[in-house]
A and B are shown apart, each in its own frame.
Chain A
Amino acid sequence: MGRKIILKHDGTPNLKDYEVYRKLGGYRAVEKALKIMSPADVMEQVKISGLRGRGGAGFPTALKWSFLAHPEGKPIYLLCNADESEPGTFKDRYLMQYNPHFLIDGMICSAYAIGAHTSYIYVRGEYKFIIRILEKAIQEAYANGWLGKNILGSGYDLDIYVHSGAGAYICGEETALIESLEGKKGHPRMKPPFPAIAGLYGCPTVVNNVESLAVVSWIIQNGGEEYAKIGVGRSTGTKLISASGNIKNPGVYEIELGLSVNEFLYSDEYCGGMQFQGRDLKAVVAGGSSVPVLPKNLILKTVAGEDRLMTYESLSEGGFETGTMLGSGGFIVYDEAQCMVRNTWNFSRFYHDESCGQCSPCREGTGWLEKVLYRLEHGEGNERDIDQLVAITKKIEGNTICPFGDAASWPVASAVRHFRHEFEYHVKYREKVKNRKHFETEPMRLFMSEFLKVEA
């Protein structure tokens, strides 16, 4: 059994009520921080813990906080990024739905550390019910003196507000989130300046993921060193993984970083192996739709033959050729019956729809990708399209304002790299592709084995 931090009290009835949470030791971190620690001490503990951002990029949290500017007369803002919209990721929802006080607990400690007196939780528009849960929890926190003026008599003030997004994926990008919070259209800003220098209303701002902020309370209560003991190397602590796809037990799991992918996938404690008897694993998207997809042999072992571990480093071993990324922890599993072309088209459709349209390569390129993939998937593709897909991703990648362009390119580039034969199949047997019933009677696997035989 791995250690649990976030899901420690998972399953406790009414955990989202203040009384229950408080009885289980909630808000002790805030007491400790405000009564006996200075903001610098809190920051130091987070630094020792080695906590890295759980929103996707994995940037060390304490380092991000240390970049904050402290101009005269300007407030500092702490923003909690709860815009979780990455396909395959649903961990923040779970945390906020069942344990909202844990997030508020962590946010108070974090805001105290960076000296913020106003904080916003930017919640994805579709999570209306979570907004209600959060608002109730915040009210309870105010009522019990954890928020507001002069918290615990320490002289420290903090207000937390919940803000609802309108359901745009791009508003998860930190500068787009800031724009959206200011009441503008969710267009990412050009960097520099980074939010730590000029963010919300031009003031220094820190944007962190829900999970990153929540665990700060545990770190304060138990010490950074304790947290750093979990995990391997620079990947410390635990991480929530949203597991979905063809597995026995889809759901949100908390793992200790350093768990092997093999164990996560097959042990009964986690995914519990494949969903259907007799259908083997085909591929895994390890960190949400934006990271490269890997076939079975590469997700279980690296090219060097070592076991692949659930850490930032191990998953990215091999770069983009043979590696992937931990990302936001959206673990999507495909068995042999799934069609990678259809899956890639599906992702591309998402990125086409969600591009903000601000810069030319992403605005035009995502549409092009989707249109080509649509044709391939519907039996209207030709030979040239496959190379064309890779060429289009090269045109987008690295030329855009925000990382969305890369996120839209990587799934396509990696699918072609690792599953080229399936694309070729779609070109060669157009009629069959047109007439099959997806995910139903004609598993891709049967087609493929036949096709590979012919090719050999």
Chain B
Amino acid sequence: MKVTIDGHTIDVEPGTTILQAARKIGGDIVPPAMCYHSLIENTGGNCRVCMVKVAQGSERDPRPMPKLVPSCKTEVQDGMVVENISNPNVLEARKNVVELLLINHPLDCPVCDQAGECELQNLSFKHGVEMTFFEEDKRVFEMTSLGDKIKLHMNRCIVCFRCVKLVDQISPERQHGLLYRGDRAEISSYIQKAVDSEWSGNIIDVCPVGALTDKTFRFKSRVWFLKPMEAHRDCDTCSGNALVWMFGNEIYRVTMRNAPYGEHEELICNTCRFEKKNVSDWEIIGPREYPKFSVINQNNYVTPPKKVVINADKRLL
């Protein structure tokens, strides 16, 4: 099937979504996604930042789709023409959604453990508005815990459903979901129970914001001071392929291996994540590559030189 996204045409299998097709093409034309995660079944459609315009439905039925559609949930048709960054309405709608995602967000990045690897931060840098006229009180929740390993900071949650659907996937019955509705909705494993699964720690990594954080790592270090190293151990439960975050020769935390677009390679078990923090537990393979301009890669995190403006009067660079 042929699909054209912002002028780039690509051949894809039937059943591919617009987002997957765009990721195959790569570059600027890839819509951002906060709730879709390819490791988790059924995710997507909630955050509404990946909305695109379908200017031509298909070869057979060339009518455009009347509304913007979520690219992560819309399958391509043969001859579909999609507009993402080439359509000002799409960019406008995306800006608006990002603004709405931020109005109730506490913006407490300076004390948030996720800062530096937060998808909401990245999204707002790239697609956000400079200012908002929101001047009301934000909605607030009490901080809670999901068991003794995971902290839940509901104020920061963007209700992307990644954790809910991941828990659905790793456990035979419903353990974790959404209480209440509207902007009072709360993620919960009903009254602070721990999610009963060997894989529950993975919800920390898939959470795009700092709503779910690792209690064994909280406030220990900023992520950009740590070096992400590929590591392996022989584990009975999972593959043992993980990422260990080191400072000097100490392991501060263990996470899933990252994949492009804020995703991850494969789930790891709780034993590897929470209990194996000695260097002797792991076979360290080598440094993990992170995108050049990510905060994690702080040594490379420079503004391209042509944008540097020197204001001699104010002594500003």
Collect the chain A residues with CB atoms within 8 Å of residue B184's CB.
Answer: 357
| B302, CB-defined interface residue at 8 Å | no
| B109, CB-defined interface residue at 8 Å | no
Asked if residues B183 and A352 are in contact (CB atoms below 8 Å), the reply is yes
Asked if residues B182 and A185 are in contact (CB atoms below 8 Å), the reply is no
Collect the chain B residues with CB atoms within 8 Å of residue A355's CB.
Answer: 181-183
Collect the chain A residues with CB atoms within 8 Å of residue B70's CB.
Answer: 190
Interface of A is mostly: helix
A368–B139 Cα distance when bound, in Å, is: 10
Asked if residues A361 and B134 are in contact (CB atoms below 8 Å), the reply is no
Asked if residues A367 and B182 are in contact (CB atoms below 8 Å), the reply is yes
Asked if residues B139 and A367 are in contact (CB atoms below 8 Å), the reply is yes
Residue of chain A at shortest CB distance from B70? A190
| A93, CB-defined interface residue at 8 Å | no
Collect the chain A residues with CB atoms within 8 Å of residue B139's CB.
Answer: 367
Asked if residues A359 and B46 are in contact (CB atoms below 8 Å), the reply is yes
CB distance from B165 to the nearest CB of A (A): 12
CB distance from B121 to the nearest CB of A (A): 16
Residue of chain A at shortest CB distance from B180? A357
Interface stretch of the complex, out of B97-105, B191-199, B282-290, B308-316: B97-105
Collect the chain A residues with CB atoms within 8 Å of residue B47's CB.
Answer: 359-360
Select A398's contact among B68, B100, B178, beta carbons within 8 Å.
B68
Collect the chain B residues with CB atoms within 8 Å of residue A361's CB.
Answer: 48, 96-97, 100
- Chain B positions 226-250 with a Cβ under 8 Å from a chain A Cβ: none
A357–B136 Cα distance when bound, in Å, is: 19
Collect the chain B residues with CB atoms within 8 Å of residue A190's CB.
Answer: 45, 70, 73
- Chain A positions 388-412 with a Cβ under 8 Å from a chain B Cβ: 388, 391, 394-396, 398-401
Asked if residues A360 and B48 are in contact (CB atoms below 8 Å), the reply is yes
Asked if residues A365 and B182 are in contact (CB atoms below 8 Å), the reply is no
Asked if residues A365 and B45 are in contact (CB atoms below 8 Å), the reply is no
Chain B interface residue count, CB cutoff 8 Å, equals 34
A214–B97 Cα distance when bound, in Å, is: 41
Residue of chain B at shortest CB distance from A355? B182
Among B68, B73, B100, B136, the most chain A Cβ lie within 10 Å of the Cβ of B100
Asked if residues A371 and B137 are in contact (CB atoms below 8 Å), the reply is yes
Collect the chain B residues with CB atoms within 8 Å of residue A391's CB.
Answer: 133
Collect the chain A residues with CB atoms within 8 Å of residue B133's CB.
Answer: 384, 388, 391
Residue of chain A at shortest CB distance from B102? A364
Among A357, A360, A366, A395, the most chain B Cβ lie within 10 Å of the Cβ of A360
Chain A interface residue count, CB cutoff 8 Å, equals 34
Select A357's contact among B96, B99, B101, B178, beta carbons within 8 Å.
B178
| B64, CB-defined interface residue at 8 Å | no
| A363, CB-defined interface residue at 8 Å | yes
| B51, CB-defined interface residue at 8 Å | yes
A185–B48 Cα distance when bound, in Å, is: 20
Select B159's contact among A360, A372, A396, beta carbons within 8 Å.
A360
| B307, CB-defined interface residue at 8 Å | no
Collect the chain A residues with CB atoms within 8 Å of residue B220's CB.
Answer: none
| B85, CB-defined interface residue at 8 Å | no
Asked if residues B101 and A364 are in contact (CB atoms below 8 Å), the reply is yes
A161-175 interface code vs B (CB 8 A; 1 in, 0 out): 000000010100000
| B12, CB-defined interface residue at 8 Å | no
Collect the chain A residues with CB atoms within 8 Å of residue B182's CB.
Answer: 352-357, 363, 366-367
Asked if residues B45 and A399 are in contact (CB atoms below 8 Å), the reply is no
Asked if residues A395 and B99 are in contact (CB atoms below 8 Å), the reply is yes
Collect the chain B residues with CB atoms within 8 Å of residue A384's CB.
Answer: 133
B173-213 interface code vs A (CB 8 A; 1 in, 0 out): 00001101111110000000000000000000000000000
| B67, CB-defined interface residue at 8 Å | yes
Residue of chain B at shortest CB distance from A365? B100
| A358, CB-defined interface residue at 8 Å | yes
CB distance from A214 to the nearest CB of B (A): 30
B35-60 interface code vs A (CB 8 A; 1 in, 0 out): 00000000001111101000000000
CB distance from A197 to the nearest CB of B (A): 14
Select A366's contact among B97, B158, B159, B183, beta carbons within 8 Å.
B183
Asked if residues B183 and A357 are in contact (CB atoms below 8 Å), the reply is yes
| B170, CB-defined interface residue at 8 Å | no
Collect the chain A residues with CB atoms within 8 Å of residue B137's CB.
Answer: 371
B146-186 interface code vs A (CB 8 A; 1 in, 0 out): 00000000000011010000000000000001101111110
Asked if residues B159 and A363 are in contact (CB atoms below 8 Å), the reply is yes
Residue of chain B at shortest CB distance from A372? B136
Asked if residues B159 and A399 are in contact (CB atoms below 8 Å), the reply is no
Collect the chain B residues with CB atoms within 8 Å of residue A400's CB.
Answer: 48
A357–B181 Cα distance when bound, in Å, is: 5
- Chain A positions 250-284 with a Cβ under 8 Å from a chain B Cβ: none
Collect the chain B residues with CB atoms within 8 Å of residue A359's CB.
Answer: 45-48
A118–B281 Cα distance when bound, in Å, is: 59
Collect the chain B residues with CB atoms within 8 Å of residue A363's CB.
Answer: 159, 182-183, 185
Collect the chain A residues with CB atoms within 8 Å of residue B99's CB.
Answer: 395
A352–B134 Cα distance when bound, in Å, is: 16
Asked if residues B104 and A170 are in contact (CB atoms below 8 Å), the reply is no
- Chain A positions 162-196 with a Cβ under 8 Å from a chain B Cβ: 168, 170, 185-186, 190
Collect the chain B residues with CB atoms within 8 Å of residue A399's CB.
Answer: 48, 51, 68, 93, 96-97
A111–B284 Cα distance when bound, in Å, is: 65
A356–B179 Cα distance when bound, in Å, is: 10
Residue of chain B at shortest CB distance from A191? B73
CB distance from B254 to the nearest CB of A (A): 31
- Chain B positions 54-85 with a Cβ under 8 Å from a chain A Cβ: 67-68, 70, 73
Collect the chain A residues with CB atoms within 8 Å of residue B180's CB.
Answer: 357
A74–B43 Cα distance when bound, in Å, is: 26
Asked if residues A360 and B68 are in contact (CB atoms below 8 Å), the reply is no
- Chain A positions 333-392 with a Cβ under 8 Å from a chain B Cβ: 352-361, 363-368, 371-372, 375, 384, 388, 391
Collect the chain B residues with CB atoms within 8 Å of residue A358's CB.
Answer: 46, 159, 161
A103–B40 Cα distance when bound, in Å, is: 43
Asked if residues B178 and A185 are in contact (CB atoms below 8 Å), the reply is yes
23 A-B pairs within 8 Å (CB atoms) are namely A190-B73, A356-B182, A357-B180, A357-B183, A358-B159, A359-B46, A360-B46, A360-B101, A361-B100, A363-B183, A363-B185, A364-B104, A364-B183, A365-B100, A366-B182, A367-B104, A384-B133, A388-B133, A395-B97, A398-B68, A399-B96, A401-B45, A401-B46
Q: Which residues of A contact B (CB under 8 A)?
A: 168, 170, 185-186, 190, 352-361, 363-368, 371-372, 375, 384, 388, 391, 394-396, 398-401
Known: A185-B178, A360-B101, A360-B158. 7 other contacts (CB 8 A): A168-B181, A355-B183, A356-B181, A358-B159, A364-B101, A399-B97, A401-B46
